[in-house]
Structure 1
Amino acid sequence: MNTTLRLALCATALALAAAPALAQVHRSNPGDADAKTVLDMMPGKAKLTVTTPAFKAGEQIPFENTQYRTNTFPGLSWSKGPAGTKSYALIMQDNTLILRGAPILHWTLINIPASVTKLDAGMAPTGNPAGSSYGPNYMGAAKPYTGPRTPPGPGDDYHFEIFALDTTLPDPGTDFSVITKAMEGHVLAAGEVVGHGIADPNAPPPAPRPAAAATPKQ
């Protein structure tokens, strides 16, 4: 399957996935094609080194950086892109859980200026770099950092991916495919840091759903 088709499938799954659609989620298996991230499909010609002060690559994401607690942004740093870099794009995906045939999209931040190679820990929703903008995630359009809320079980892998681009990207609205299509052929370098999320054992149980109203007798 070519890259364009894969990205179209990815976009279909990730673009407008509202919360009720999460009932359609299933766990991936090693090697599943639908578990490929955008980085898997567009690795670029060079590699960026991506780190976070919150955790080491492959280790557990602190609960403070998840929706279970304060949903605090963990912070990211990356090596400078090659000559010709005009902007960076950040994409966060959970490829352990699959929604409608693709990894769940947690966060996108596009048009990060080429002069920026760091996002501070604790960055506020309105604290993104000047000129950058939030793209869609599984909750809708223009969403700030939306950390993990990993369900009970063995845990999920969360990919914080950075792409150095020789272009800037259009406003995608709710359509993630606008981002991936505009990126195709423009990735100069890319890299990621992966953290592992688990369910918070001290989290309160979810609120019960309201009981359905009784149907009046005719």
Structure 2
Amino acid sequence: MNMPIRVAAPIALGLAVLTLACAPAALAQVHRSNPGDADAKTVLDTMPGKGKLTVTTPAFKGGEQIPFENTQYRTNTFPGLSWSKGPAGTKSYALIMQDSTLILRGAPILHWTLFNIPAGVTRLDAGMAPTGNPPGSAYGPNYKGASQPYTGPRTPPGPGDMYHFEIFALDTTLPDEAKSDFAALTKAMEGHVLASGEVVGHGIADPDAPPPAPRPAPPKP
């Protein structure tokens, strides 16, 4: 499902960086992945479980376009997710959403993390509000910072990006440090993944969206 694409146009890269609200210094760290790129591997690629979870969303079929309503171009509405029950010993689920096409600082763009989802929960409703996450679960970091709710795609112009909604069944719960530190979250997951699965959607730029607002001019010396 991973469909890496090369786009060399500097304009597309510039728009991508503006879209992600990255500092100008990050421009040199942003690129589109190429076939076989190690830095395009998602967490599911590097930390698969022995078991398989079937993951679906009512918003789109695997590999198809993510509706604009589920992106930052419009209402940023959570599309909803369901997954099959984890194996015996599952104590929690972790959800990680990554863009494997656009690479920032040597890794797929991180859009969303939600961890310590109770073992009895196998569905997140479409339209889930930022405060509607299951009791006991916690939002982790994304590219905007710590403890962030669902942050959908805002794909730059071009052929589009692939967005992975990954679910992991864990035999443990994760520490509070995972709220702010992605490295701590994934480190705590190591050796505890019983099963995993994903649904992948294709995001494109909204042709009706206005251009991004210009960045403020730096203050005069």
Deviation at 1:211, TM superposition (A): 3.4
Counterpart CA distance in 2 for 1:81 and 1:45 is: 11
Pick the aligned partner of 1:19 from 19, 22, 32: 22
Check whether the contact 2:138–2:179 (CA below 8 A) recurs between aligned residues. Answer: no
- Which residue type is aligned with residue 157 of structure 1? M
Check whether the contact 1:113–1:131 (CA below 8 A) recurs between aligned residues. Answer: yes
Q: 1:187 to 1:159 in 2, by over 3 A?
A: same
Instruction: Tell me, yes or no, if structure 1 residue 119 matches structure 2 residue 128.
Output: no
Counterpart CA distance in 2 for 1:156 and 1:113 is: 30
**Over residues 140-185 of structure 1, what are the superposed CA-to-partner deviations in whole Å (9 max), with x where a residue is unaligned?**
0000000000000010000000000000001124210111111101
Partner of 1:186: 192
Structure 2: where are the runs of 5+ without partners? 1-19
- How many pairs were matched up? 199
- Which residue type is aligned with residue 104 of structure 1? I
Counterpart CA distance in 2 for 1:209 and 1:116 is: 42
Q: 1:117 to 1:173 in 2, by over 3 A?
A: closer
- Which residue type is aligned with residue 43 of structure 2? V
Counterpart CA distance in 1 for 2:219 and 2:116 is: 48
Deviation at 1:22, TM superposition (A): 5.3
Instruction: Tell me, yes or no, if structure 1 residue 93 matches structure 2 residue 101.
Output: no
Determine what percentage of the aligned residue pairs are the same residue.
85
**Over residues 39-61 of structure 1, what are the superposed CA-to-partner deviations in whole Å (9 max), with x where a residue is unaligned?**
00111011000000000000000
Q: How is 1:1-218 mapped onto 2 (pairs within 5 angstroms)?
A: 19-20=22-23, 23=27, 24-171=29-176, 172-215=178-221
Deviation at 1:99, TM superposition (A): 0.6
**Over residues 57-97 of structure 1, what are the superposed CA-to-partner deviations in whole Å (9 max), with x where a residue is unaligned?**
00000000000000000000000000000000000000101
* TM-score normalised over the length of structure 2: 0.87
Counterpart CA distance in 1 for 2:36 and 2:137 is: 34
Structure 1: where are the runs of 5+ without partners? 1-16
- Which residue type is aligned with residue 85 of structure 1? T
Counterpart CA distance in 1 for 2:216 and 2:21 is: 20
- Which residue type is aligned with residue 193 of structure 1? V
Q: 1:110 to 1:173 in 2, by over 3 A?
A: closer
Counterpart CA distance in 2 for 1:213 and 1:100 is: 28
Check whether the contact 1:18–1:140 (CA below 8 A) recurs between aligned residues. Answer: no
Check whether the contact 2:26–2:105 (CA below 8 A) recurs between aligned residues. Answer: no
Counterpart CA distance in 1 for 2:194 and 2:216 is: 50
Q: What root-mean-square deviation, in Å, do the aligned CA atoms of Structure 1 and Structure 2 show?
A: 1.4
Deviation at 1:213, TM superposition (A): 4.4
- Which residue type is aligned with residue 19 of structure 1? C
